[in-house]
Amino acid sequence: KNTNYILLEYTKKVTKEEEKESLSKFKCKYHGFIQKHDIFISYRVFCEKDVSEKLFWRLEAFNYQYKTNKKPFLDKYCLNHGNEFTKEFTNAIQNCSIIILLISEDSIKGIENAFNKQDNVLLEFEISVYRYLKGECHILPIYLGKHIDIPEYGRVYKKFNDFDILKYPQSFHFCEESPQYEEEDNNQKTIREVMK
């Protein structure tokens, strides 16, 4: 039996009514009672927390100044503690028209091993690509470099340069919420295909 498809047996299909009911119960911790956001910020907590928060507040300020009425979603400010984390952030990303992917060398390191464990950043990438291919959203990747210390020069900025596609496996993500497990869509993507 092909292990890439084992999760098909356990994946619960969610009807549109169940999805609407789940979304209608959502109350954003920061924006109050809104059922959906417009801009989703995808990031890895341990390395992009500061950048994601600054981006969130810039988008909020822009929204306030220009009255765009575009609500950004950042899990730290928008998710309620004690709720189902994965379910709520996947609901949020599935209802945003713009998805910002903060990508750095550190943020994509764990994705290489996602064939045997769930990786939420990869899950956000998968949902983004899946929705983009269906014409449901726009993706804005932002590549982040980092400051490094070089003895002769001091502290310098190193551009992001880490998209070696061959290091990602031709396997599926080990995650029930991954879009590739929906057989009828025929949009199954391996980890390598998602990272392209």
**pLDDT per position as a tens digit, 31-80:** 886 768 999 999 999 999 999 999 999 999 999 999 998 999 999 999 88
| 166 three-class SS | helix
- The contacts of residue 1 (CB under 8 Å, 6+ apart) are none
Whole-number pLDDT of residue 183: 56
Whole-number pLDDT of residue 86: 83
Buried/exposed 124-137: b ≥16 CB within 10 Å, e otherwise: bbbbbbbbeeeeeb
The reply to whether the predicted model has a pTM over 0.75 is yes
Please tell me the distance from the alpha carbon of residue 188 to that of residue 196, in angstroms, as a whole number: 14
pLDDT tens track for 112-125: 889 899 999 999 99
